[in-house]
Structure 1
Amino acid sequence: MTDGQRTNILFLMTDQHRTDTLGAYGNPCGITPVLDDLARTGTRFDRWYTPTAICTPARVSLLTGQAPFRHRVLANRERNVGYLEDLDPGTFTFVDALRDHGYNTGLVGKWHAGAQQEARDAGFDGPELPGSAWHNPVEAQDYLDHLAEHGLPPYEISDRIRGTLPNGGPGNLLAARLHQPLEATFEHYLATRTIELLETYAEDLRRGATPFFLQLNFFGPHLPYVLPDEYFDLIDPSQVELPRSIAETFAAKPPVQANYSAHWTFDTMPIETTRKLIAVYWGYVAMIDHEIGRVMEALERLGLTDDTAVFFSSDHGEFTGSHRLHDKGPAMYEDIYRTAGLLRVPGGAAGQVREEFVSLLDCTATILDLAGLDPSPAVDSRSLLPLARGEHPEWDEDIVCEFHGHHFPYPQRMLRTDRYKLVVNPDSVNELYDLHTDPDELLNVHGHPEMAEVRRKLTTRLYRRLRDRGDNFYHWMTTMFEVGEVDYDPTQSGLDESTYAAEAR
């Protein structure tokens, strides 16, 4: 591949997917051979983070190359707490740029990047599916037509797993057994529709040299984990090693975390149920890997493998019992902020592991770069192509993430360095974790006297990075913490001086 060449792009994306479910990232059960092969033939990023661990703002960041605070679509529609629900008209997206550059652009699966605007409105080909569902939209007409066309049975579940809410009501559905064969699952349907669109694009490419961008977005392994027998029972729960952070006490932690634990009913279920939930979650990942394999086989059959860049990532992670939590929420732990990131590009390095701090946000500039387009409109994004090619450019030694709320407004900012993580929680205690000695983030050392110098340096660094980005969260930090020299007057005392001068006259 040479600069300026228009490369085909296949973007594979899951929802709420833990990094440690992939063999390439250490899972011992061999459940992801397809994604592990992608890591073997491309680049595995070990420090790949989501800009925010919530579906819609993370997906809009990928679309625009803008951090959430900048694009301002900050919450999922179903739990919106008063933020924008759609991008402002005229906002730059990589889809518009690719289409203007002669690309076919398709998206099959979960959209969830707006309320009024759907994937088709944004310039994507593909089947019409509900845009804001957090689970498989099994009532979508195109899926029902697919079942009818192939004589497949309808969606039906049993063996539901759920806890009890603080008010005594039944908790959210966490998992269930699906009474359909694999061929009838929504995941199989999505892979089938992706292969069909890939075949159409391959023909366009052959006839008119029209390159393509094709994105396959699974709704899973987001809860509820609804799987047919062969995957619901694939993993023996006794094989599952429980995360050490199940020992979480929430001591010296923001109280919201214990509240979220109650909301997700962790303590109302026996530990055997938690172990089974993790086993079923791994089974879900295995099923998705199988369906990705079908798409990768089609790519090879169509002769596109050598000319197509392939991405794999997710919008964010999942707790699955870690820190006595499920889902995601106002807790900036590695479980939900660090995600898998794989990238294979034509002519790129094979089997390499990169330790630079990178982000889902960086995919936007990378997509533009692969298309031979200027990546600079993706203002908070940086192309990963030099890293994927085995080069060693200068790179930031830390990364900033943000959160704005889910169910209720809850602003947070995070700085992650090689060793430490700082989380600023304006309404509560701040958090500081030494990830070398405490990788499970159980001990908040923010208030420990011996951490004073580390705390000061990290706070100053976060403050400066937020100011440089234009994220107004820094205003809170200016008056509340030691942030070093500032070049403006946060107290607006100049107004007092002007008043005094007028009175003196």
Structure 2
Amino acid sequence: MTQQPNILFIMTDQQRSDTIAALGNRAIRTPTLDSLVEEGIAFSNCYTPSPVCVAARSATITGLPPHINGCASNNESPMGRRSIMQVLQGCGYQTHGIAKMHFNPETEALWGFDSRDISEEGARGPGSRNDFHRYLSENGYDHVLEPQGIRSELYYIPQPSQLPAHHHHTTWVADRAIDFLQERDRERPFFLWTSFIKPHPPFEAPAPWNKLYRAADMLPPRRPEGFEQLLTYWNRRQNRYKYRDKGYDEMLFRAMKAIYYACISFIDFNLGRILAALGDEIDNTLIVFTADHGELLGDYGSVGKRTMLNPAARVP
């Protein structure tokens, strides 16, 4: 790189560190991520600053840990702090953000982005700007109220996508990234933050990706002796989705893993589309791939995050 490099920053949501084939997981298919591992540098001991969405993202954006920037949970984002986007703006970069930023409570804030394609998780709500919801309305899917999957008691239950693959949120994110790369200001380097909501629950992937993995082929969760003592209050609270009777359904966990892997493989496919759109500029582009935090996915008999146990805290 002989000039200011472009920066493509890709963040997934709730993706564990052990979900990349090139790093030792033979059960998952991630050819695009495998190529990044082989041609770049993979950090095998990378930990989130916080196993909670807003806190992790706030720390990433400000470069300050939660106890310094003031955001330690899904509470208010520290927008009084200087962001990496503002720093790069000052260095002449064109800055653009796509999809989930989880700025709280100002979901439409720029915080150093020149522009954004806005899409946060959850159901449609009156009065809020959501570019993905508008896109769905324009394409005949206005009736889909929860386009990232049904939440509530189905939050962790594998479910079919309500959208076809070409209108799925994962595809929409990649399409917006490609649009930016084609239309950007060629006189300036760019910082493009591309944020995929998946594999964060609800666990759903569009056809045919939802059939890519079989639950019976998934390894069972890890439950070391005495694991109950390691769970936090929040782990026990999140378990309400399945464990009102404190039961244990191994096949359900394996079914969760199958659709969770499908979400990641679908992201991987769309990441390949984005990298292809870079064309010759790929040689002058710093590509960073990571996640805000991981997911227990049945390990320690639990789901979700909110713990510094490896499955929830260690990220790609």
Q: Above 0.5 in TM-score?
A: yes
Show the counterpart of 2:300. Answer: 323
TM-superposed CA distance for 1:315, in Å, is 0.3
Show the counterpart of 2:132. Answer: 143
The aligned runs of 1:113-262 (5 Å cut-off) are: 113-116=103-106, 118-130=108-120, 133=121, 135=122, 141-147=130-136, 149=138, 155=144, 170=153, 172-201=155-184, 204-205=185-186, 208=187, 210-245=188-223, 249-250=226-227, 252-253=229-230, 256=233, 259-260=236-237, 262=239
Q: 1-side partners of 2:189 and 2:96: how far apart?
A: 11
* RMSD (Å) for aligned C-alpha atoms: 2.9
Show the counterpart of 1:45. Answer: 43
The aligned runs of 1:333-412 (5 Å cut-off) are: 333-340=309-316
Equivalent residues of 2:28, 2:261 under 8 A apart? no
> Percent sequence identity over matched residues?
29
Q: 2-side partners of 1:268 and 1:170: how far apart?
A: 16
Equivalent residues of 1:129, 1:137 under 8 A apart? no
One-letter amino acid of the structure 2 residue matched with residue 234 of structure 1:
L
Give the TM-score of the pair, scaled to structure 1: 0.56
Local SS of the residue matching 1:58: helix
Q: 1-side partners of 2:272 and 2:125: how far apart?
A: 22
Does the C-alpha gap of structure 1 residues 339 and 254 become closer, same or farther in structure 2, counting only changes over 3 Å? closer
One-letter amino acid of the structure 2 residue matched with residue 115 of structure 1:
P
Does the C-alpha gap of structure 1 residues 312 and 137 become closer, same or farther in structure 2, counting only changes over 3 Å? farther
Q: 2-side partners of 1:240 and 1:121: how far apart?
A: 41
Local SS of the residue matching 2:54: helix
Q: 1-side partners of 2:206 and 2:110: how far apart?
A: 31
Show the counterpart of 1:484. Answer: none
TM-superposed CA distance for 1:72, in Å, is 0.4
Q: 2-side partners of 1:333 and 1:115: how far apart?
A: 28
The aligned runs of 1:297-316 (5 Å cut-off) are: 297-300=276-279, 303-316=280-293
Show the counterpart of 1:87. Answer: 78
Does the C-alpha gap of structure 1 residues 200 and 137 become closer, same or farther in structure 2, counting only changes over 3 Å? farther
Equivalent residues of 2:100, 2:118 under 8 A apart? no
Local SS of the residue matching 1:288: helix
Does the C-alpha gap of structure 1 residues 240 and 122 become closer, same or farther in structure 2, counting only changes over 3 Å? same
Q: 2-side partners of 1:146 and 1:40: how far apart?
A: 36
One-letter amino acid of the structure 1 residue matched with residue 315 of structure 2:
T
TM-superposed CA distance for 1:252, in Å, is 4.6
Query: Any unmatched runs of 5+ in structure 2?
Result: none
Local SS of the residue matching 2:115: coil
Show the counterpart of 2:100. Answer: 110
Q: 2-side partners of 1:170 and 1:268: how far apart?
A: 16
TM-superposed CA distance for 1:115, in Å, is 1.3
Does the C-alpha gap of structure 1 residues 22 and 256 become closer, same or farther in structure 2, counting only changes over 3 Å? same
1:283 counterpart = 2:262 = yes
Local SS of the residue matching 1:19: coil
One-letter amino acid of the structure 1 residue matched with residue 290 of structure 2:
S
Equivalent residues of 1:248, 1:323 under 8 A apart? no
Q: 1-side partners of 2:213 and 2:37: how far apart?
A: 23
TM-superposed CA distance for 1:173, in Å, is 4.6
Q: 2-side partners of 1:252 and 1:182: how far apart?
A: 41
Does the C-alpha gap of structure 1 residues 252 and 218 become closer, same or farther in structure 2, counting only changes over 3 Å? closer
Of 240, 263, 271 in structure 2, the residue corresponding to residue 263 of structure 1 is 240
Equivalent residues of 1:156, 1:180 under 8 A apart? no
- 1 or 2 for the larger relative contact order (CA 8 Å, sep ≥6)? 2
